[in-house]
Structure 1
Amino acid sequence: MRQMDYVWHLRMKMAERGMFSTTDLQPHLADRGVSLSREQTYRLVTGQPQRLSMDILVALCDILECTPNDLIEPRINEVARRKAVGGQDSTGKVTPIKPRRTTIRRPGGAS
């Protein structure tokens, strides 16, 4: 199974432009009509955003003179599926269910 992921390179792109603090980015965003709080800007720079408006993406690309491809690097990870008991393995062969003997223990030590 394939699992989609990405790497967010905003912090690296900011460093290339001499911006090392999240507060360095806020006035540039405001000049382009994007108003983010200090906390939102911090999360945008230090984290990996799950949702990003096109206005913010375009503003970042303009500020950093880059393309969206420079900021977002897609990654595809192959994840092995777990085999289910009694299911099919990777060759399509059915795996039989094997019975397991159980022991019943009653209180007081009698079996």
Structure 2
Amino acid sequence: MRWNLRMKAAEQGIWKSTEMRRRLAEAGLEISTGKMSALWTGTPTTVRLDDLEIICVVLNCTTADLLVHEPEVAAARRPKAEPQAATGSPTVVPRLERGRTLPPI
């Protein structure tokens, strides 16, 4: 997903994060300077749905305008296919992450 806040803001004549922050406050969303900076300059890790709703109202847009789907990025992250065994079914190999152990037999 690509975060498209600045482009949608520019389409509404909002060129500075301070102006966006002021408009959000007028719509009922008080946002810290640090959080506004994160929303304005990069792709946020998380956005509350309530906050996203107010952002969409202020920018007169939909969530699809702010969160642009990029299927090619998701496809590039997909793990490469493992060679199939003679039975024709893929071999399943558990990925042990974050200190996890194999399940009991």
Give the TM-score of the pair, scaled to structure 2.
Answer: 0.69
> Moved runs in structure 1, 4+ residues, more than 4 A?
none
Cα RMSD, aligned residues only: 1.9
> Which has the larger strand fraction?
1
Unaligned runs of 5+ in 1: 1-5, 95-111
After TM superposition, list the pairs within 5 Å mapping 1:45-84 onto structure 2: 45-76=40-71, 77-79=74-76, 81=79
Question: 2:47 & 2:79 partners in 1: Cα distance?
Answer: 31
Which residue of structure 2 lines up, in the alignment, with residue 19 of structure 1? 14
- Number of equivalent positions: 83
Deviation at 1:34?
Answer: 1.1
Unaligned runs of 5+ in 2: 87-105
* Code of the aligned partner of 2:75: E
Question: 2:75 & 2:21 partners in 1: Cα distance?
Answer: 38
* Code of the aligned partner of 1:60: I
Instruction: Note closer, same or farther for the CA distance 1:78–1:40 as it changes in structure 2 (3 Å cut).
Output: same
Deviation at 1:53?
Answer: 0.8
Contact 1:9–1:70 (8 Å) recurs in 2: yes
Q: Secondary structure at the match of 2:61?
A: coil
Q: Secondary structure at the match of 2:65?
A: helix
> Which has the larger helix fraction?
2
Give the TM-score of the pair, scaled to structure 1.
Answer: 0.66
Query: Which residue, out of 20, 30, 37, partners 2:32?
Result: 37
Deviation at 1:61?
Answer: 0.7
Percent of matched pairs sharing the same residue = 30
